[in-house]
Amino acid sequence: MRKLRSVLVGTALAGALAAGIAAAPAQAATATTAGTASVAQAQYTKHWFSGSSSFGRGESRGDRSDYRGYWYYSNGRYYFDIEAWDHDRDRQNTYVDFSYHDNGGWHTRRFSTGGHGEWKFNISARSGFDGFRTHIGEGNSRDFDWGNYYGHSF
Protein backbone atom coordinates (compact mmCIF):
# COMPACT_ATOMS: atom_id res chain seq x y z
CA MET A 1 0.00 0.00 0.00
CA ARG A 2 2.84 2.30 0.84
CA LYS A 3 4.46 1.63 -2.54
CA LEU A 4 1.20 2.41 -4.36
CA ARG A 5 0.78 5.64 -2.43
CA SER A 6 4.39 6.65 -3.20
CA VAL A 7 3.94 5.86 -6.89
CA LEU A 8 0.70 7.89 -7.05
CA VAL A 9 2.23 10.86 -5.20
CA GLY A 10 5.33 10.66 -7.39
CA THR A 11 3.20 10.52 -10.56
CA ALA A 12 1.08 13.45 -9.43
CA LEU A 13 4.18 15.45 -8.54
CA ALA A 14 5.83 14.66 -11.87
CA GLY A 15 2.63 15.62 -13.73
CA ALA A 16 2.35 18.94 -11.89
CA LEU A 17 6.00 19.68 -12.53
CA ALA A 18 5.64 18.84 -16.23
CA ALA A 19 2.53 21.04 -16.49
CA GLY A 20 4.38 23.92 -14.82
CA ILE A 21 7.35 23.58 -17.15
CA ALA A 22 5.05 23.44 -20.18
CA ALA A 23 3.11 26.50 -19.02
CA ALA A 24 6.20 28.62 -18.35
CA PRO A 25 7.19 29.12 -22.02
CA ALA A 26 3.58 29.88 -22.94
CA GLN A 27 3.36 32.52 -20.20
CA ALA A 28 6.71 33.95 -21.27
CA ALA A 29 5.52 34.10 -24.88
CA THR A 30 2.32 35.86 -23.80
CA ALA A 31 4.33 38.38 -21.77
CA THR A 32 6.69 38.94 -24.72
CA THR A 33 3.79 39.45 -27.12
CA ALA A 34 2.13 41.92 -24.74
CA GLY A 35 5.44 43.71 -24.29
CA THR A 36 5.96 43.93 -28.06
CA ALA A 37 2.43 45.29 -28.54
CA SER A 38 2.95 48.00 -25.95
CA VAL A 39 6.29 48.95 -27.56
CA ALA A 40 4.58 49.13 -30.97
CA GLN A 41 1.89 51.40 -29.56
CA ALA A 42 4.40 53.63 -27.78
CA GLN A 43 6.76 54.13 -30.73
CA TYR A 44 6.29 57.87 -30.65
CA THR A 45 5.17 60.69 -28.40
CA LYS A 46 2.58 63.18 -29.62
CA HIS A 47 3.43 66.84 -29.08
CA TRP A 48 0.32 69.06 -29.05
CA PHE A 49 -0.08 72.67 -30.22
CA SER A 50 -3.11 74.95 -30.68
CA GLY A 51 -4.26 78.50 -31.27
CA SER A 52 -7.19 80.74 -32.14
CA SER A 53 -7.86 83.63 -34.46
CA SER A 54 -8.31 87.22 -33.44
CA PHE A 55 -11.83 88.59 -33.72
CA GLY A 56 -13.11 91.49 -35.75
CA ARG A 57 -15.78 94.11 -35.16
CA GLY A 58 -19.10 92.75 -34.06
CA GLU A 59 -17.68 89.34 -33.20
CA SER A 60 -17.47 87.83 -29.77
CA ARG A 61 -14.70 85.57 -28.54
CA GLY A 62 -16.99 82.60 -29.22
CA ASP A 63 -16.99 83.45 -32.94
CA ARG A 64 -13.25 82.97 -33.28
CA SER A 65 -11.78 80.13 -35.27
CA ASP A 66 -9.41 77.75 -33.57
CA TYR A 67 -7.13 74.87 -34.37
CA ARG A 68 -5.46 72.02 -32.57
CA GLY A 69 -2.77 69.73 -33.84
CA TYR A 70 0.02 67.41 -32.92
CA TRP A 71 3.30 66.21 -34.35
CA TYR A 72 5.53 63.23 -33.76
CA TYR A 73 8.80 61.88 -35.13
CA SER A 74 9.10 58.37 -36.52
CA ASN A 75 11.50 56.65 -38.95
CA GLY A 76 13.21 59.82 -40.14
CA ARG A 77 10.01 61.81 -40.76
CA TYR A 78 7.95 64.37 -38.82
CA TYR A 79 4.22 63.65 -38.99
CA PHE A 80 1.58 66.35 -38.48
CA ASP A 81 -2.18 66.26 -37.94
CA ILE A 82 -4.02 69.61 -37.72
CA GLU A 83 -7.75 70.23 -37.24
CA ALA A 84 -9.45 73.63 -37.52
CA TRP A 85 -12.96 74.83 -36.70
CA ASP A 86 -14.76 77.95 -37.93
CA HIS A 87 -17.34 78.69 -35.24
CA ASP A 88 -19.33 81.52 -36.80
CA ARG A 89 -21.61 81.44 -39.84
CA ASP A 90 -20.42 84.57 -41.63
CA ARG A 91 -19.47 82.95 -44.97
CA GLN A 92 -15.80 83.66 -44.39
CA ASN A 93 -13.25 80.87 -44.44
CA THR A 94 -10.75 79.91 -41.80
CA TYR A 95 -7.11 79.68 -42.87
CA VAL A 96 -4.28 77.83 -41.17
CA ASP A 97 -0.78 78.76 -42.27
CA PHE A 98 1.83 76.10 -41.60
CA SER A 99 5.39 77.35 -42.20
CA TYR A 100 8.44 75.18 -41.79
CA HIS A 101 12.16 75.74 -42.08
CA ASP A 102 14.74 73.44 -43.66
CA ASN A 103 17.99 73.72 -45.63
CA GLY A 104 16.08 75.53 -48.39
CA GLY A 105 14.67 78.27 -46.11
CA TRP A 106 11.06 78.88 -45.07
CA HIS A 107 8.13 77.19 -46.86
CA THR A 108 4.44 77.90 -46.20
CA ARG A 109 1.40 75.75 -46.79
CA ARG A 110 -2.05 77.31 -46.38
CA PHE A 111 -5.07 75.22 -45.54
CA SER A 112 -8.64 76.54 -45.53
CA THR A 113 -12.08 75.44 -44.39
CA GLY A 114 -15.55 76.89 -44.08
CA GLY A 115 -16.51 74.78 -41.07
CA HIS A 116 -14.25 71.95 -39.98
CA GLY A 117 -11.12 70.68 -41.69
CA GLU A 118 -8.37 68.20 -40.95
CA TRP A 119 -5.01 67.90 -42.67
CA LYS A 120 -2.40 65.17 -42.27
CA PHE A 121 1.05 65.38 -43.83
CA ASN A 122 4.69 64.59 -43.14
CA ILE A 123 8.10 66.12 -43.74
CA SER A 124 11.41 64.32 -44.12
CA ALA A 125 14.12 65.07 -41.58
CA ARG A 126 16.75 64.55 -44.31
CA SER A 127 16.03 67.97 -45.81
CA GLY A 128 17.38 69.64 -42.66
CA PHE A 129 13.91 70.27 -41.20
CA ASP A 130 14.55 72.19 -37.98
CA GLY A 131 11.35 73.99 -36.97
CA PHE A 132 7.85 75.12 -37.81
CA ARG A 133 5.28 77.76 -36.90
CA THR A 134 1.53 77.94 -37.37
CA HIS A 135 -1.18 80.51 -37.03
CA ILE A 136 -4.85 80.79 -37.89
CA GLY A 137 -6.92 83.54 -39.41
CA GLU A 138 -10.53 83.99 -40.31
CA GLY A 139 -11.97 86.42 -42.80
CA ASN A 140 -11.63 87.48 -46.42
CA SER A 141 -8.73 88.58 -48.60
CA ARG A 142 -8.77 92.12 -47.09
CA ASP A 143 -8.66 91.20 -43.42
CA PHE A 144 -7.86 87.78 -42.01
CA ASP A 145 -7.99 88.51 -38.24
CA TRP A 146 -4.80 86.51 -37.76
CA GLY A 147 -4.07 85.01 -34.36
CA ASN A 148 -0.68 84.69 -32.71
CA TYR A 149 2.01 82.38 -34.03
CA TYR A 150 2.79 79.09 -32.40
CA GLY A 151 6.39 78.09 -33.11
CA HIS A 152 8.61 75.13 -32.35
CA SER A 153 12.32 74.57 -33.06
CA PHE A 154 14.15 71.25 -33.09
25 vs 146, higher pLDDT: 146
- The count of structural domains within the chain is 2
Burial status of residue 98 (CB atoms within 10 A of its CB: 0-12, 13-18, 19 or more) = buried
Residues 35 and 83 in one domain: no
Residues 132 and 82 in one domain: yes
Residues 32 and 88 in one domain: no
- pLDDT tens track for 84-125: 998 877 778 899 999 999 999 999 999 999 889 999 999 999
Residues 134 and 76 in one domain: yes
Residues 36 and 57 in one domain: no
Burial status of residue 137 (CB atoms within 10 A of its CB: 0-12, 13-18, 19 or more) = buried
Residues 61 and 6 in one domain: no
Residue 25: its H or E element:
helix 2-41
pLDDT above 90: residue 6: no
> Residue 37: which pLDDT band, with cuts at 50, 70 and 90?
very low
% the chain with pLDDT above 90: 43
Q: What is the CATH number of the domain that holds 137?
A: 2.60.40
Residues 66 and 129 in one domain: yes
Range of the domain at 32: 1-42
Residues 72 and 145 in one domain: yes
Residues 25 and 59 in one domain: no
Closest by CA position to 100, among listed 120, 83, 78, 119: 78
